[in-house]
Amino acid sequence: MSAAFYILMVVFLVVLSVFLLYLYLASGKKAAHLDKQKNNYASIIDQANDAMFVIDIVNGSIHHSNPAAAALLGYARETLQKKTIFNLCPPQALETCAARIADVWEKGGLIFKDIPFVTAAGETVPVECSAKVAPFEGRPSIVIYARDIRERLRLEKEILQQKNIIEQKNKDITDSINYARGIQHAILPNREDLKKFIPDSFILFKPKDIVSGDFYWFSPGKNEVLVAAVDCTGHGVPGALMSMIGNSMLNEVVGEKEILRPSQVLEELRERVIKILRRQGLENDSKDGMDIAFCNISIPKMELSYAGAYNPLWIVRGQQLIEIKADKFPIGSFVTDQLPPFTNHTLSLQKGDAVYLFTDGYADQFGGPKGKKFKYDQFLKLLMAVCSQPMDAQKKILNDTIEQWRGSMEQVDDILVIGIKI
């Protein structure tokens, strides 16, 4: 053989040796890198506060677990890592556990809390698991992060019990208020009965809550009909209690004492309300009491007399508004010790006059495109526009208008409007 051949063989062997040395060194570095990666991975798992497991994706064997997992389940780590994830589940949950492992593998990750763990002592521990597919020692595995949720479930149970108690109490209170509504409706006169005395009339009554602080009142006399629109302090239960007191007082003042002059009715009513407030130690609270529009309508005489505490009286005659202003003090406590008398107004009526009594709830309702109050100017324009129509039609228009105005907004106050066509 020639010298050239021997030289070529030597070069080939040298190159092969270098290549094999490179592969050896590279594999060593890769192994070292894998060992380092594994150690870092294990270190992160070991430092977690909640239980963590690394399990085999095929048979569920536990490759690694942290001290928190051992503490939760009551096993030594060495013992725990000889088990499978299926050894930690109750027998009745094995099928579900296998299904969850398959779901994790298919989806890459999953959170579930329908599989509890069983401790070395046989205690069942509810856990919430967050599982994710991740490589471990160069092969695909599943890392399970398990949090003990016993305390959470205890708190949730306690919250649910408190919720049930509150709901039951709320139901009891609502049932009581509904019963009170029945009493209030029984005490108030039937709205349709006003038509027996004044056929073309209506009462639009819309409580904000189940019971109302506003109330309507009417009573027929020998030659007249007495009508009132009353707004008591507040709404809901406090207002309803005051309304029942006010209704009873009006019945006594008019029915028993036969006082028919509106200003005298209001003064007698005020005296009685102040006595009640004084008994309760509330006589100095100017917020307690009633606002009222009270009128005595004599159809034979075609005459109306009126007195009011804050609530005015409107009469629409054709396209003319006649407003009778109320006195600016309530039925109840006042800022001065000396109580001023109420003003009695008397005026002649004409056939076709539309008389309106109301509380402030209609005008004060928020709504419309800008969420503002309806206001008295708009209320008056509406009445002027519909005053020629029958009273039942007016009631429907008033109701539809305020509901459309309110939209999705909450009703802010009780609403009461009384309309009478002479």
**Same structural domain for residues 76 and 141?**
yes
**Same structural domain for residues 14 and 52?**
no
Reply yes or no on whether the pLDDT at 12 is more than 60.
Answer: no
Give how many domains the chain has, as a whole number: 3
Reply yes or no on whether the pLDDT at 28 is more than 80.
Answer: no
- How many Å apart are CA 88 and CA 370, to the nearest integer? 62
Mean pLDDT value of segment 381-397: 95
**Same structural domain for residues 185 and 282?**
yes
- How many Å apart are CA 353 and CA 391, to the nearest integer? 12
Give which of 203, 200, 248 is closest to 227, Cα–Cα: 203
Between 415 and 209, residue with greater pLDDT: 415
DSSP 181-206: HHHHHHHSPPGGGHHHHSSSEEEEEE
**Same structural domain for residues 274 and 385?**
yes
- Would residue 172 count as lying in a domain? no
DSSP three-state, residue 366: strand
Reply yes or no on whether the pLDDT at 13 is more than 60.
Answer: no
**Same structural domain for residues 329 and 412?**
yes
Mean pLDDT value of segment 332-347: 81
CATH (domain of 258): 3.60.40.10
Residues with Cβ < 8 Å from 291, sequence gap 6 or more?
Answer: 230, 231, 309, 310, 311, 326, 330, 331, 359, 360
- pLDDT band at 316, cuts 50/70/90? very high
Mean pLDDT value of segment 189-211: 89
Reply yes or no on whether the pLDDT at 205 is more than 90.
Answer: yes
CATH (domain of 86): 3.30.450.20
- 342-374 tens-digit pLDDT: 999 999 999 999 999 999 999 999 999 999 999
Whole-number percent of the chain with pLDDT over 90: 60
**Same structural domain for residues 187 and 234?**
yes
- 208-263 tens-digit pLDDT: 888 788 999 999 888 899 999 999 876 667 777 888 888 889 999 998 888 999 99
Angle (CA) 66-68-74 rounded to 5° is 105
- Would residue 166 count as lying in a domain? no
Backbone angles phi, psi at 346, to 5 degrees: -130, 135
Between 25 and 353, residue with greater pLDDT: 353
- Name the residue range of residue 362's domain: 179-421
Which pLDDT belongs to residue 235? 60
Mean pLDDT value of segment 75-101: 92
Which pLDDT belongs to residue 273? 87
pTM for this predicted structure: 0.68
- Would residue 160 count as lying in a domain? no
DSSP three-state, residue 395: helix
Reply yes or no on whether the pLDDT at 181 is more than 90.
Answer: no
CA distances from 34 to 46, 58, 63, 140, 145 (A): 18, 21, 15, 14, 23
- How many Å apart are CA 87 and CA 73, to the nearest integer? 12
Give which of 214, 341, 331, 343 is closest to 274, Cα–Cα: 331
AA identity, residue 43: S
